[in-house]
Amino acid sequence: MSNILRRGRLEASQDEEILRYTSSMEADRWIFYADIAVDLAHTVMLKEQGIINAEDCSKILAGLLKIREEGMEKLDFSYEDIHISLESRLIDMVGEDVGGRMHSGRSRNDEVATCIRLVLREELTGLLEEIFALRTTFLGLAEKHTSTLMPGFTHLQHAQPTTLAHHLCAHEAALGRDFDRVQDAFSRVNLCPLGAAAFASTGFNLNRKRTEELLGFEGLMENSMDAVSSRDFLIECASVFTNLMINLSRVAEELVIWSSSEFNFVELDDAYASTSSIMPQKKNPDTAELMRGKTGVAVGALMSLLTICKGLPLSYNRDLQEATPNIWRSVETVRASVKVMEGMIRTMKVHSKVLEAQSITGFTTATELADTFVRETGIPFRTAHQIVGILAKDCESPSIEKIDSVSRIVLEESLSGRGLTENMVKEALNPVSNIQRRKVIGGPAPEEMRRYLSKRQTELELNKQEIATLKDIIDSAFENLLSVVGEYRKS
């Protein structure tokens, strides 16, 4: 059959090169099933509104189900997009007098926007599950290490002792916010543009609420011009993905550093490592490096989306076709990264002994020593800071005599004269008592960490239920659509 779209207004057929330049068929693989769902819902609604008759409806639905069964490969890839290719296949199957009625009151503009939202909604749900799994793994590992000392860093220099649990929970907290952001974006993705047609809606008596319901959306993109022309939901998701990817790349960076010989804090499982083609001894943390690198995909997708959407006049412009593949690239990379990170964290070997030994190198207890001076002798913190700073120049574990000699220079009196004892100094320099003291909300003290962990677990349990609810709404909508389709097919 001749091209059903170009046989009217246009004369020349497009050569290969132009077609390849303008077609979205390849990227449309992502929306094949969604497009059929949209076609099914629209056809059901057309029949219910008396716009097409029951017999035509039944034939169209049967044709669509057949196309769904045959899969994307059976479609004609010389069309400019999946929507028109699919319609052409339908017309081939059931004839134009029937199949040619499906597109009544609809445009590819509202159709494609609906498809993107349907697929993205699924991807976001999957991503929520994956972030959930990663957070669970972080918390599980943290639970085992509430007493495992390690050095905490600022400027990548040893700073103060902390615990591995505290460090892991910091990453989990960031992922928790990523989870919330995905959920939040979901609520704006899960709105139905269908019925907006080209942009000005339609004179057909469509029931937009019915297609919204059949596709399991939470509401409508009401303004029909906004419905077809806005892609801010893509920018929002790409931004959420970028944030998540950046959080992952920070973990990845630490895994790279931590598995170096200098640090030797962890060893990644062999499955996540590579070796050298020349240096047989090498075990490289390639998977973590790749994750750091793949962050560029998410950042790039966001930049592309922003640039494509900037300055577009209302309403639909074909530029928008270039926007869509960016979100697929980004979500694919981000989802894979979350999954791989989960495995990498779950299987890595923690070198607790090294962590503990390193927890005090670099005089990490200096802050606690200064704090002890303040609490026990009443001197101002700034003065204590100066005394410990001078001590730190040439030792990591000063004796009370040494402390007194410096304090005599700074204060013109000894701190032991103001009540400081050798025991107090010993306590201050002990990393275990350091972290035990840090029991303010969010601190690394094991008892505080246990409270924090149990709170996080409860929140995670809630998140689990939220994901289940989302999945349930989507799944039952789709089951309902198929059962309505089943009924109308028979009649």
Q: Rule CB under 6 A: which residues touch ligand ARG?
A: 24, 81, 108-109, 112, 316, 318, 320-321, 324
**Minimum distance, C-beta of residue 307 to ligand ARG, in the bound complex (Å):** 17
In the bound state with ligand ARG, the residue whose beta carbon lies nearer, of 47 and 106, is 106
Q: Helix, strand, or coil here: 351?
A: coil
CB of 24 to ligand ARG, least distance (A): 4
Closer residue to ligand ARG (CB): 197 or 355: 197
CB of 216 vs ligand ARG, minimal distance in Å: 22
Angle separating helix axes 232-258 and 108-144, nearest 10 degrees: 30
User: Is 304 noted as a catalytic residue in this protein?
Assistant: no
- CB nearer ligand ARG, residue 226 or residue 376: 226
Residue number with CB closer to ligand ARG (62 or 312): 312
Closest CA to 193 of 217, 216, 227: 227
Residue 412 sits at φ, ψ, to 5 deg, of 60, 25
Phi, psi of 284 (to 5 degrees): -105, 140
What are the residues whose beta carbons fall under 8 Å from the beta carbon of 404, sequence distance 6 or more?
414, 415, 416, 417
Catalytic residue, chosen from 13, 187, 260, 276, is 276
* Of 30 and 488, CB closest to ligand ARG: 30
Instruction: Give rounded-to-5 percent helix, strand, coil for the chain.
Output: 65, 5, 30
From 2, 155, 277, 491, active-site residue: 155
User: In the complex, what is the shortest distance from the CB of residue 55 to ligand ARG, in angstroms, rounded to a whole number?
Assistant: 30
* Residue (166 or 329) nearer to ligand ARG, CB: 329
Instruction: Report the C-alpha gap between 334 and 295 in whole angstroms.
Output: 8
| Catalytic status, residue 155 | yes
* Nearest Cα residue to 387 out of 360, 363, 361, 405: 405
For the purposes of burial, counting CB atoms within 10 Å of the CB of 405, is it exposed (0-12), middle (13-18) or buried (19 or more)?
A: middle
CB of 323 to ligand ARG, least distance (A): 8
Partners of residue 350 on adjacent β-strands: 266
Q: Is the dihedral of CA 157, 160, 163, 166 positive or negative?
A: negative
Look at the block and give the residue holding tokens 């219910």: 48
Count of C-beta atoms within a 10 Å radius of residue 33: 17
Containing 150, the helix (H) or strand (E) segment is strand 149-154
Catalytic annotation, residues: 155, 276
